[in-house]
Amino acid sequence: MSEILSIGRQHLAVHGAAGLSLRAVARDLGVVSSAVYRYVKSRDELLTLLLVDGYNALGDAVDHAVNQVPADDFAAQFRALGGAVREWAVAEPARYGLLFGSPVPGYEAPSEQTTGPGTRVIVQLVRIIEGAHRAGALREVARAPVPDPRLAADFAAIREEMGLSVPDDVLARGVLVWAAVFGAVNFEVFGQYGRATFSDPAALFELHLAALAETAGLS
Amino acid sequence: MSEILSIGRQHLAVHGAAGLSLRAVARDLGVVSSAVYRYVKSRDELLTLLLVDGYNALGDAVDHAVNQVPADDFAAQFRALGGAVREWAVAEPARYGLLFGSPVPGYEAPSEQTTGPGTRVIVQLVRIIEGAHRAGALREVARAPVPDPRLAADFAAIREEMGLSVPDDVLARGVLVWAAVFGAVNFEVFGQYGRATFSDPAALFELHLAALAETAGLS
DNA sequence: GAAAAAACGAGAGCGATGCTCTCGCTTTAA
DNA sequence: TTAAAGCGAGAGCATCGCTCTCGTTTTTTC
C-alpha cells in the first residue's frame, strides 16, 4: 500500500526517524496495527522504504537543479548541487536526518536496496568534477600526488569502477568537498552551530560553496 | 549515583543513543527500575548527563592533543585538533553520534547545561586561528570581504562575543573548516562514504586536514 | 539515646511500543 | 460452485518510560 508510505512520510517529518511507530501509522490509516504487517514486514522495512524514498527525492532535487545550469559551467553546476542539497535538507529536516544523521539504533540499512539511490548525489558530483577535468576547466589545485600507497590504490579502484580519468589529488579533494558539503548542511539543519546563529544561513552556505569550489579546483 | 552514569555510558556505546533504556540500566545495576528515578529525573535527563559527559571527554581529548604541539605551530595545532576529534569519534562512535548525529527525537538538549561543554572544540579552533592571525602566521586566503551585510553583522557579533580580531573572510573560512572537519568525521564514523571504502581512513583524513588547513589560511 | 525526618528500594500499575498468532470474512481463481 | 488466497480484527507477549504507594533503612534533630 502506497498509502502506508505516504502516512509514514508524514509521521517521519513530524515525529522524526526513531519516533516512527507502525501502530501510529495504522491508527492514521484507520486500521488495526496487525493489518499493516500484511504489507510491511517490520518497522525496519518501512524505514528502509522511506530511506530509498528520501534518497530518490533528494536525488531528483539535485538532478533538477544541476540541469537548470549550462552544461559547460561546472562551477555553477557544483553550486547548484550544493544549494539543492541544502534546500532539500532545510525543507525536510527529519527526512534528511534519516539519510545523513546518526544511524537509527538496531537498524542496518540493507545495502542492496539503498546503495543505488543513496549514491545519486555523489555520482552527480564526480560527474561534474570529471567533466571539468576532461574539459580542461579544472584549476591546478594540489602540489603533490597522494603519498600513501594504500590510498592511491583506493583511488585507483574508484577511478576504475566509475570510469574516471581525474588524478589522485583531484579525487581526494573531491571526497573532501563531498563530505564538507554535507558537514555544512548537517551543522545548519541539526543546529550544531551552537550559540553562533546566522541570520542568513543561505548566504553563509553560498560562501561555503564558493570556497569549496575553489578547493575542488572548480575555480 | 555515578554508577548510573557509568552503566549508561556502556549501554550508550553498545545499544546506541536511542537504545538507551532506563530499565536496562536498572537491571545492570541490580535494582528495580523505579529506584533509578530517585537519582535521575527521566530518561532525557540521563541523556543530558551523558551528553555533557561526552562533550567533556571530547574536549579533554582535543585539549590534550593540541597541548602536545608547539604553541607557535598553528597548522600543527589544527591538525592535532582534527585528528583528536576523529580518533575520539572512531573509538566511541555511539557516544559521538549522540553529540553530532541527528537529534534524538523528542529530546531537546537543555542549552544552559550543554552549551558550555558543547563549545569546547570550536573555542579551541578559533583560539588557534585567532592566534595565527595575531602572530601574522595566517596566509592571505580570500580575495574579497563577505558581501552580505547581514552576515557581516553576524560575524561582527561573534568577533565581539569572543574577543577576536580576525577579519570576516578568515572567520567565514574558519566556520567552513569547522563544519568540514565534522562532516568528514561523520562520513567515516557513520559509514556514509557508501561503496567507496578506504583501506586507510586515517590517512585520508590527514589529507583532508591538510587541505582544510590550507583553506583556513594555516598554510 | 529516643524520636522525627529524610532517603531509599521494591512492587504494582498505566499507557505505550513492536511483533506474532489465530480467527473469521471477503474476494479471487479454479 | 468450490477451493484458495488475501485481508482485517483482536488477543496476547515482552518491552519501554514513568508514577504511585508502601515498607525499610539511614540520617538528622532534640
What digits encode the pLDDT tens for the residues B123-171?
999 999 999 999 988 887 766 677 788 999 999 999 999 999 999 999 9
Total CB pairs under 8 A between chain A and B: 181
Tens-place pLDDT, residues A176-192: 999 999 999 999 998 88
Partners of A161 on chain B (C-beta within 8 Å) are 195
- What CA–CA distance (Å, rounded) separates B100 from B57? 14
CA B194, chain centre distance (Å)? 23
> Contact, A148 vs B203, CB < 8 A?
yes
Query: Which residue in the set B97, B101, B195 is minimally distant from A119, CB to CB?
Result: B195
Tens-place pLDDT, residues A160-174: 999 999 999 999 999
| Distance between the alpha carbon (CA) of B36 and the C1' atom of C5, Å | 22
Q: Is residue B106 predicted with pLDDT exceeding 70?
A: no
- What CA–CA distance (Å, rounded) separates A103 from A117? 17
Chain B interface includes A202 (CB < 8 A): no
**Residue A19 or residue B176, greater confidence:** B176
- What CA–CA distance (Å, rounded) separates A31 from A135? 57
Helices (H), chain A: 2-15, 22-28, 33-36, 43-67, 74-91, 93-100, 111-118, 120-134, 149-162, 168-189, 201-216
- Which strand C bases fall within 7 angstroms of a protein CB? 7-13, 16-22
Smallest CA–CA distance from A95 into chain B, residue: B102
Residue B219 has a pLDDT of 77
**Residue B79 or residue A106, greater confidence:** B79
The percentage of chain B sitting over the pLDDT mark of 90, rounded to a whole number, equals 61
- Contacts of residue B166, Cβ cutoff 8 Å, sequence gap at least 6: B129, B130, B133, B138, B159, B174
Q: Is residue A105 predicted with pLDDT exceeding 70?
A: no
> Contact, A101 vs A17, CB < 8 A?
yes
Secondary structure (3-state) at A140: coil
**Average pLDDT rounded to a whole number, residues A5-34:** 87
Does at least one atom of strand C sit less than 7 Å from the CB of A34?
yes
Residue A145 has a pLDDT of 73
Partners of B146 on chain A (C-beta within 8 Å) are 207
- Which strand D bases fall within 7 angstroms of a protein CB? 6-12, 15-21
Q: Closest approach of chain B CAs to the CA of A160, in angstroms?
A: 12
Chain A interface includes B103 (CB < 8 A): yes
Residue A143 has a pLDDT of 65
Residue A98 has a pLDDT of 87
> Chain B neighbours among A 110-169 (CB < 8 Å)?
115, 118-119, 122, 142, 146, 148, 150-151, 153-154, 158, 161
- What's chain A's Rg over C-alpha atoms? 20
| Distance between the alpha carbon (CA) of A58 and the C1' atom of C20, Å | 36
Chain A interface includes B201 (CB < 8 A): no
Tens-place pLDDT, residues A65-101: 999 999 999 999 999 999 999 999 999 998 998 888 7
> What is the dihedral sign for C-alpha A33, A37, A39, A41?
positive
Q: Is residue A142 predicted with pLDDT exceeding 70?
A: no
Of B86, B95, B102, B168, which to mutate for an interface test with A (greatest number of A Cβ within 10 Å)? B102
**Average pLDDT rounded to a whole number, residues A34-56:** 90
